[in-house]
């Protein structure tokens, strides 16, 4: 035994030394190959060996033989090929891709591929980069990467060849002073480093303040970078500080340029009906929105007819004021959408447009684009037409008021709004018919709670509660859906170029996983069918059961994201063959594109060539605007999450009822439904038992106690920790909880 130990001790240093030499040689070869690939990638024509050799910095490599060996290796790998006798170029099928790095706090990352040279094979998933293959790259950099392996799950593994364009060199973060050390911890944890501050200069941040810091890039991975503070935002728990940190993290434009401001000031503020604008001012349009709404971009009117109903959906005519290619238009396109935070908004359009000229305020003439739709009593559309119009909204209703009129039958409220009672009754009848018809075709209606934040006058979070939806919300939703479908159907029938709102069927694997989970709950399910009606039926069967929230959540996760596209593939979730976004051009740029296309179609032949407006193509716009929408959704979720963390930091020790929303071998994940707040319980907090993860049945099972914690179960939990930096809430089972 001792001899073996002695032999092992003698062998270990030798082995370590040999590995070190091999690793250095591999790194050298890899660097040489990457340099060669980057030279060939950026070259307009094939390069000779001499040119390649000269492309290396002096003394950055050994003899030319090293470069030649690296070049031969690339040829052997199929990445490079010869052109003529002594020239080289990238192979047309080289697995090289260009894209943006999304880094994880643990150091690895994924690349959102934007393009590739030649005929590189398309990738099914975003390429993965391990920390060891990351090189000097940081989150947000535009990279040239090389895919060297495709895993069995279709995930490509790659390495960084070249940083084509460095990302930003400043981040929002939290300033921490610990003795002599001054540090900034990036608020965006995708930057896996800490910034050392040597001198704050004329700025005087307090410990715990939110700040904007600039950093210097290091050669190679580093946990600490040198930097400086360029702006102090204030206390980290302040709502406006958190909003600025979100703006920095998602790189959101939040200020309008002087050119946009000046152009906005010059806009014509008169509303005179023109030759091609129908006068609908005597039609009893009303707006129905939330209490806090400031921009009213849609007004509706319902009239009963002999055959059924006539619905007017009139939408603010943003296209009248925003000319393609203007400064306002360019800025609106780059933003893509308005972004809504609790008590705050980053608008797509300047306030003069969104809250004034394009807001359908009561008693004021406003330019609109109207969809005039005739339905029979069952909600079947009979005729439709569209026109540029001018309206005067008769009244501004809130959802709460309409619910009191139609549902609660509140005598005082009904008396106050007597002139509108008949029209609202007709609106309710039509909406009921439209909803029934939509459900019959299989449209999926999710029922997921959303948080409603109440702020104090000083901007702090006063309370959080679930948003209450009522039938008044449904009325407007049905009317907007009907108008959107009518416009999309016109585009399809006329075969005119357009932007559609599309939603593809879920991937078979995800759909099957959802089905397998639903079966474990004992719900009486029909045989699985990847059709909207099957999923809608599942939601209906779990309604008002303890599984309603879980089923809705997991079904939503199994679905693909809806997006904008010039190719109409239908909308799976709505069970609709034709769908677009027409109803919110104040806050969504795709709607403005739809308005322009619709108005062109009304005045010209579908095949008539459009004038060159120097706008991106519809295909390009669909991709870009879908990305802007995703960024807005992530920013809004992130801001809501921050405010929830801030709210819960004063709730440590408080207990709540929560539903188990997820189970892994390491933790239970929970949701306090009354607050829409999520957190977790580490397995070690569950007690003295050893818990086995029953993955198939989504539960943890106590080996000794036989206690089970299954997804969908309700438990009583106590808040034990709120970590603002990691944005994490941790619970334990309340002392009176039972398993």
pLDDT at 4 over 60: no
Among positive and negative, which fits the CA dihedral 701, 702, 705, 709? Answer: negative
Question: What is the model's pLDDT at position 611?
Answer: 67
**Does residue 131 contact residue 66 with C-beta atoms inside 8 Å?**
no
Residue 438 confidence (pLDDT):
97
Residue 588 contacts residue 501 (beta carbons within 8 Å): no
If pLDDT is split at 50, 70 and 90, which confidence band does 59 have?
A: low
**E strands present in 494-652:** 500-502, 563-565
Q: Among 461-470, 486-495, 512-521, which range has the highest average pLDDT? A: 486-495
Q: According to the model, what pLDDT value does residue 7 have?
A: 31
Q: Given pLDDT bands bounded at 50, 70 and 90, which one contains residue 12? A: very low
Tens of pLDDT along 581-611? 999 999 999 999 999 999 999 988 776 666 6
Confidence (pLDDT) at 164: 93
Among candidate residues 300, 313, 464, 307, the one with its CA nearest the CA of residue 377: 307
State the Cα–Cα distance between residues 499 and 41, nearest whole angstrom. 34
Q: Is the pLDDT of residue 224 over 50?
A: yes
Least confident segment among 235-249, 263-277, 606-620: 606-620
d(CA 149, CA 108): 16
With a CB cutoff of 8 Å and minimum separation 6, the contacts of 515 are 525, 528
Structure letter (DSSP) for residue 686? G
> Whole-angstrom distance between the N-terminal and C-terminal Cα of the chain?
51
Structural domains in the chain?
2-90 (1.10.10.10), 96-165 (2.40.50.140), 170-236 (2.40.50.700), 262-504+560-639 (no CATH), 649-733 (2.40.50.140)
How far apart (Å, rounded) are the C-alpha atoms in residues 331 and 208? 35
What's the pLDDT score for residue 670?
Answer: 96
Residue closest to 501 by CA, chosen among 366, 593, 419, 421: 593
Tell me how far apart the alpha carbons of residues 293 and 287 are, in angstroms, rounded to a whole number: 11
Q: What is the SS3 assignment for 285?
A: coil
How far, in Å, CA of 321 to CA of 659, rounded? 49
690-722 pLDDT tens trace:
999 998 888 999 999 889 999 889 999 999 999
Q: Using DSSP, state whether 670 is helix, strand or coil.
A: strand
Residue scoring higher pLDDT (85 or 108): 108
More confident residue, 45 or 522: 45
Rounded to an integer, what distance in angstroms lies between the CA atom of residue 584 and that of residue 483? Answer: 11
**Percentage of the chain exceeding pLDDT 70:** 93
Q: Which of 114-123, 306-315, 372-381, 531-540 has the lowest mean pLDDT?
A: 114-123
Poorest-confidence range of 422-426, 562-566, 585-589, 706-710? 706-710
């Amino acid at each position: 035994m001792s001899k073996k130990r002695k032999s092992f001790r003698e062998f270990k240093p030798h082995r370590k030394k040999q590995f070190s030499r091999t690793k250095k040689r591999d790194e050298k070869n890899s660097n040489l190959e990457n340099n060669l690939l980057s030279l060939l990638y950026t070259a307009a024509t094939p390069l000779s060996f001499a040119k390649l050799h000269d492309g290396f910095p002096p003394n950055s490599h050994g003899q030319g033989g090293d470069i030649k060996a690296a070049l031969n290796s690339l040829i052997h790998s199929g990445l490079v090929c010869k052109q003529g006798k002594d020239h080289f170029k990238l192979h047309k099928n080289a697995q090289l891709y260009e894209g943006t790095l999304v880094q994880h706090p643990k150091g690895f990352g994924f690349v959102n591929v934007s393009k590739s040279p030649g005929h590189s094979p398309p990738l099914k998933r975003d390429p993965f980069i391990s920390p060891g293959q990351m090189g000097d790259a940081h989150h947000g950099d535009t990279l040239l990467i090389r895919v060297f392996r495709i895993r069995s799950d279709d995930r490509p593994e790659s390495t960084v060849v070249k940083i084509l364009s460095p990302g930003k060199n400043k981040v929002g973060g939290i300033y921490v002073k610990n003795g002599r050390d001054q540090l900034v911890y990036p608020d965006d944890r995708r930057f896996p480093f800490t910034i050392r501050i040597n001198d704050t200069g004329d700025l005087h941040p307090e410990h715990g303040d939110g700040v904007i810091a600039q950093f210097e890039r290091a050669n190679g991975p580093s946990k600490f970078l040198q930097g400086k503070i360029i702006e102090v935002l204030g206390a980290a728990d302040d709502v406006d500080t958190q909003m600025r940190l979100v703006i920095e993290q998602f790189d959101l434009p939040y200020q309008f340029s002087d050119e946009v401001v000046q152009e906005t000031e010059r806009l014509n503020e008169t509303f005179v009906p023109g030759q091609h604008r129908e006068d609908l001012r005597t039609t009893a349009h009303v707006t129905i929105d939330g209490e806090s709404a400031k921009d009213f971009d849609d007004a509706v009117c319902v009239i009963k007819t002999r055959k059924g109903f006539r619905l007017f959906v009139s939408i603010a005519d943003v296209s009248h004021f925003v000319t393609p290619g203007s400064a306002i238009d360019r800025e609106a396109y780059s933003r893509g959408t308005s972004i809504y935070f609790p008590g705050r908004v980053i608008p797509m359009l300047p306030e003069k447009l969104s809250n004034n000229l394009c807001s359908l305020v009561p008693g004021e003439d406003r330019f609109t684009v109207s969809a005039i739709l005739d339905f029979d009593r069952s909600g079947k559309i009979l005729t439709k037409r569209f026109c540029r119009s001018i309206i005067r909204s008769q009244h501004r209703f809130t959802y709460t008021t309409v619910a009191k009129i139609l549902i609660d039958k509140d005598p005082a409220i009904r008396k106050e709004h007597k002139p509108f009672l008949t029209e609202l009754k007709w609106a309710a009848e039509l909406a009921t018919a439209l909803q029934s018809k939509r459900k019959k075709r299989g449209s999926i209606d999710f029922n997921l709670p959303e948080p409603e934040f109440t702020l104090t006058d000083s901007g702090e979070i006063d309370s959080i509660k679930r948003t209450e939806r009522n039938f008044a919300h449904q009325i407007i939703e049905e009317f907007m859906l009907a108008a959107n479908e009518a416009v999309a159907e016109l585009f399809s029938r006329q075969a005119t170029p357009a932007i559609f709102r599309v939603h593809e069927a879920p991937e078979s694997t995800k759909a099957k996983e959802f089905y397998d989970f639903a079966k474990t709950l004992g719900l009486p399910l029909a045989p699985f069918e990847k059709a909207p009606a099957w999923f809608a039926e599942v939601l209906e069967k779990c309604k008002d059961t303890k599984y309603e929230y879980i089923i809705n959540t997991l079904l939503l996760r199994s679905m693909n994201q809806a997006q904008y596209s010039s190719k109409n593939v239908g909308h799976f979730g709505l069970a609709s063959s034709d769908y677009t976004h027409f109803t919110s051009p104040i806050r969504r740029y795709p709607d403005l594109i739809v308005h322009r296309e619709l108005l062109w179609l009304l005045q010209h032949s579908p095949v008539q060539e459009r004038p060159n407006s120097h706008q991106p193509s519809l295909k390009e716009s669909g991709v870009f605007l879908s990305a802007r929408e995703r960024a807005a959704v992530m920013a809004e979720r992130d801001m809501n999450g921050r405010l929830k963390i801030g709210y819960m930091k004063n709730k440590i020790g408080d207990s709540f009822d929560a539903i188990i929303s997820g189970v892994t071998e390491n933790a239970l994940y929970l949701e306090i439904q009354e607050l829409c707040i999520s957190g977790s319980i580490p397995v070690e907090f569950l007690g003295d038992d050893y818990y086995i993860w029953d993955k198939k049945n989504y539960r943890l099972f106590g080996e000794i106690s036989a206690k089970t914690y299954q997804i969908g179960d309700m438990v009583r939990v106590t808040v034990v920790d709120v970590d603002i930096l990691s944005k994490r809430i941790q619970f334990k089972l309340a002392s009176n909880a039972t398993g």
